[in-house]
A and B are shown apart, each in its own frame.
Chain A
Amino acid sequence: MSLPNIFQLHILIPWIISMAVGILVGGTPGLTATMAVALIVPITYYMDPLAGLAMILGVSFTSIFAGDIPATFLRIPGTPASAAAVLDGFEMSKKGKGSLALTIDLICSATGGLIGVLLLIIIAPPLAKFALKFTNFQYFWLGMFGLSMSAVLSSKNNIRGLISVALGLLVSTVGIDITTGFPRFTFGNIELMGGIGFIPVMVGLFGISEVFKNVKSRDRLTQRTIHDKINISLFKTLAIVWKRKWTLLKSSFIGTCVGALPGAGADIAAWVAYGIEKKTSKNPEEFGKGSIDGVIAPTSANNAALGGTWIPALVFGVPGDSITAIVLGAMLMYGLRPGPLIFQQSSDLVRGIFAIALISQFFLIPVGLLGIKAYGQILRLPRNIIMVFVLIFSVVGSYAIRNSFFDIYIMIFFGIIGYIFENLNVPLAPMVLGIILGPMIEDNLRVGLIKTGGNYLPFLTNPISAILVLSIIFTFFGNNIINLFRMIFRKNK
C-alpha cells in the first residue's frame, strides 16, 4: 500500500471521528486513554486494518492531549498521563491564562507526538533492542529514578515530600502481592484485593480537594469558573514555544525513551520530563507557579511517549503500556503478527501506520482547538454549577472504571486527604508518583533478589544500572556537584 491510500474516505472519516471521540473521552475525568482505545477497538473489528489502526492511533493521541484540558481548567487530570500537567497548567489558568496554557499544551502535544513518531520510524529497532536489555535490576533503578523526581516536586518541604511519596508507595502495596499471591492490607475486603484504583485516588486528590477549596468562598462561587476569554492565537503561541524549543525537544526525547520501555507509559514519561526540566531549569522556583516550561515538559513528553510505546510493540510484539497491549490484540485480530518480521511481511501496512501516526499530529491541532473552545464555553458557567458538575463527573468517572461503589468511597477519602494535606503544605504530586511507581519498584526489587539468591550486588554492577544510579545521585546533589566543578575551574583559572 502506498502512502496516498490513507486519504481515502473509508479511512479518513472514521479517523477524524475517532479523534473527536478522543477529545470527549480524554477530557472526561475518570475515562482514560486506554478506555478510549478499548471502546474504539470493537468498532474496528469489521474494518480494513489500516482504517482500524487509524482510528486507534487517532483516539489515543487526542485523548492523551484532551486529558490536559480539565487538568488545566479544573485541576482534574482527564487521564493519568495528565497528572503532571496539572502543576503549572492550572496555575496559569488561575492567572487567567488557561487558554494560552492549553494552546501551548496542544502545540507541544502535537510536536511531542511528531518527534515520538519520527523517533519510532528512525530508531525503532536499535531502541527496542536496548529496551529489551532492561532486566529487573534496571527497572528497579528506573523506578527509583522516577521516584527521585519527588524531591524535585516537593521543593519547599522535603520531609513532607518524603512523607507524601512514602504514603503513595504504601497505598500501592494494598492488594494481592504479585510475588507471593498474599493479600496485603485488604482486611478481608474483596474490593481491596485488586488494589486501590489509581483513577479514584487521582480524581480525589486533585479534583475533589479543589472543589472543597472552591466552595469555601461565597463570592468566588458565584463567579465564572474561568475568566479569560478563550482567545487562541496560534502564531503568538508558536513564538512562545519556539523560544523554548530545547525544552520541547528534550522532553519529547525523554518521553519517547521512557515510553519505549515496556511497563513505563505516558504517565511516568510526563513526570520524569517535568522533574528533569525543573532540575535543569535556570528558574526552578517558577515551577508549580505557572511556568511555561512546566507546561511544555509534561505535555510534550506524554504524547511523545505514545510513539515510544509503539517501538517495542511493533518490533518485538511486547506492549509498552496498556494502550499498545490492546493494540497488539487488535493487530492479531486483523491477522497481523507484530514482531521483527512485520517490517518485511507487512511493510506497506507498517508504512501506513507511520504515516497515519505522523499526520494525526497535524489533525490534532484543529481537533484540539475545537476541544479547548468547547470546554472553555462550558466552563464560563458560574463555579457553584461547575463544582457540582465536577463532583458528579468525578463520582461517575470513579465508578465507571470497575463498576465499583467502593471506588467512589476511595475517591471521597482521598479527596479529604488531598484537602487536609494541601492545608498542611504537604505536596500531593509525590504521592501520585509513589502510587504509579510503587509496583514497578517493589516487584523488580523482590524478583531481582530472588534471581540473585538475595544478593544485592548485581543491582549495581550493570552499566545501565550505573547510569541510572548516577542520574539519581545527580537529581539529589546535581546543584552541589555543578557548584563544586565551578569552584574547581575558577581556582584553576
Chain B
Amino acid sequence: MDKKTNIWFGIIIVAIAIFVIIVSLSFPSFIVGDKKFPGPNFFPVILSIILIIAGGYEILIAWRDMRAKKATKISKEFFKDWGNQNVLIIIFSLIIYVFFLEWLGFFLATFIFSLILMIRLKTGWIRGTIFSTIAVIVIMLLFVKLFKVQLPEGSLGIIFWR
C-alpha cells in the first residue's frame, strides 16, 4: 500500500480521535452524592487515547518508510479505470436509490436501480429486465407476503403487491 496513503490513514484516525475527545468533553459528569463516577465520556475518551497512540504510530512508521523509499503517487488513472468507476457508480446510485425509495416506492425504485446497474455491469438489456423483475418479485413474496415486512410504498403510492 502507498506510504502516503498510510500517512493519511494515520492522520484520519488521529483526527477522528481528537474529534471524539472534543465532543466527549461536552458530556455531563456523572456525580452521585459527592462522589464522581465514570461518566458518558469515560469510555470514548479512553478509546480515543488508544486511537491517537495507534494512529500516531502508523504515521511515524509510514513517514520513516517514506524517507527510506520515495513514495509513489496515487495514479491519475484511478477515475478512468472501469472497475473503479463501477465502485463509484454503485455508491452514488445506492444513495440516489435510497432517496428515490421514499417517493417512488420500493417496486419502481428497485426495478430502475437494478436495471441500470445490470446494464452497467454488462448483463444486457433483456437479461437485465428479466432479472430485475425477478428480484423485485422475489423480495415482494419473501419480505412482504411471507415475513410481513412493510417496504416503502413511496409518495406516488404505487402499490403492486396488495
Contacts and interface: CB of A to CB of B under 8 A. Distances in A.
Interface of A: 24-25, 28, 31, 35, 39, 159-160, 162-163, 166-167, 169-170, 173, 177, 179-180, 182, 184-185, 211-212, 215-218, 221-222, 381-382, 384-385, 387-389, 391-393, 395-396, 399-400, 403, 405, 408-409, 412, 415-416, 419, 423-426, 442, 445-446, 449-450, 453-454
A180 B151 CA distance: 35
B38 A445 contact: yes
Interface in B71-89: 82-84, 86-87
Interface in B95-143: 95, 97-98, 101-102, 106, 110, 113-114, 117-118, 121-123, 127, 131-132, 135, 139, 142-143
Nearest to B42: A446
B135 to A, nearest CB: 5
13 contacts: A163-B54, A180-B40, A216-B87, A218-B83, A384-B122, A400-B149, A400-B151, A405-B98, A405-B102, A409-B98, A412-B91, A445-B43, A446-B38
B79 to A, nearest CB: 13
A159 B53 CA distance: 10
A215 B86 contact: yes
A28 B138 CA distance: 12
A211 B121 CA distance: 12
A166 B50 contact: yes
B1 interface: yes
Nearest to A172: B43
B15 interface: no
B30 A216 contact: no
A167 to B, nearest CB: 7
B44 interface: yes
A166 B54 contact: yes
Contacts of A450: 32, 37
B95 A412 contact: yes
Contacts of A25: 147
| Overall SS of chain B's interface | helix
Interface of B: 1, 5-6, 9, 13, 16, 20, 23-24, 27-28, 30, 32, 35-40, 42-44, 47-48, 50-51, 54-55, 57-58, 82-84, 86-87, 90-91, 94-95, 97-98, 101-102, 106, 110, 113-114, 117-118, 121-123, 127, 131-132, 135, 139, 142-143, 146-152
Contacts of A385: 118, 123, 127, 131
